[in-house]
Amino acid sequence: MQISGSTVLLTGATGGLGHAIARSLGARGAKLILTGRRGEVLEPLAAELGARALSVDLSARPELQRLIDTVGDIDILIANAALPASGTLDTFSVEEIDRALDVNVRAPIMLAHALAPGMLARGRGALVFISSLSGKTATPGTALYNASKFALRGFASALRADMREGGVGVSAVFPGFIRDAGMFADAGVKLPPGVGTRAPEDVAKAVVTAIEHNRGEIDVAPLALRASTTFAGMAPELAARIARKLGSDDITRQMHAGQREKR
């Protein structure tokens, strides 16, 4: 899929990862439609990139429908918006659970449902879903977040198979710990020594690669973290015990404390 000249809808553009993705696609000649909840952050970014800005709260179903009705034909969807949803399940209200699932799972699915038919009719397009390594391996204290990111991976994988003959690429990108932006940086989490990170620009590069080369899945993490994720998929109980010894519970506590007000 060629990015230059394509109309791109990017959700979650007001966060640090969204900024990096938007700038990377803008530099490649994309015609950008940027969405986010914080208009005071969204508008300057849109002005910088010559993009269209639409302030939308994806947890509000009428606003999501308004977005779908407004954007018109889209060549590339990048579903980047997400809520952290960290903390044990008993700390969530029903409303907070609904909000997390609406933003992290329902909104990407509904956007794909609305936009994919037009892509198929034109015989070209790309759907990119920003998941997380938390969509491949579970960690304590993040059951709801894990659930949403596992769901996004399954949805993207099955949708890719459905779209295989239609000229529409479907990809999922799995960031690990990202420095300087994103939920870990926003929460002020201090990682144990030796835990590697990647930059927001690395996530943006993965998005570009996914679009241009129709890659099904791309991990954005150092080799050791990717290897540990693979190991956790094969031996989850043993991997969980090792992770606890290496400080996963402390990371979870920091995440919960730093993100409690972002539900």
Q: Which two three-digit tokens encode residue 71?
A: 């954007």
Catalytic (active site) residue 99: no
CATH number of the CATH domain containing 53 = 3.40.50.720
Confirm whether 76 is domain-assigned: yes
For tokens 């399940």, what's the residue? 89
Q: Is residue 2 part of a domain?
A: no
- Structural domain includes residue 207: yes
The answer as to whether 191 is a domain residue is yes
Query: Structural domain of residue 146, as residue ranges?
Result: 7-262
Give how many domains the chain has, as a whole number: 1
For the chain, the C-alpha Rg in angstroms (whole number) is: 18
How far apart are alpha carbons 174 and 136 in whole angstroms? 8
Report if residue 63 sits inside a domain. Answer: yes
Under a CB-based contact definition with an 8 Å cutoff, are residues 46 and 53 in contact?
A: yes
pTM for the full predicted model: 0.89
Q: What is the pLDDT along the chain (263 residues), one digit of tens a residue?
A: 899 999 999 999 998 899 999 999 999 999 999 999 999 999 999 999 999 999 999 999 999 999 999 999 999 999 999 998 888 899 999 999 999 999 999 999 999 999 999 999 999 999 999 999 999 988 888 899 999 999 999 999 999 999 999 999 999 999 988 887 766 666 666 666 667 789 999 999 999 999 999 999 999 998 888 887 887 778 877 767 776 666 666 667 666 666 666 65
Judge whether 100 lies within some domain: yes
Is residue 37 a part of any domain in this protein?
Answer: yes
| Catalytic one of 145, 155, 174, 184 | 145
| Residue 1 within a domain | no
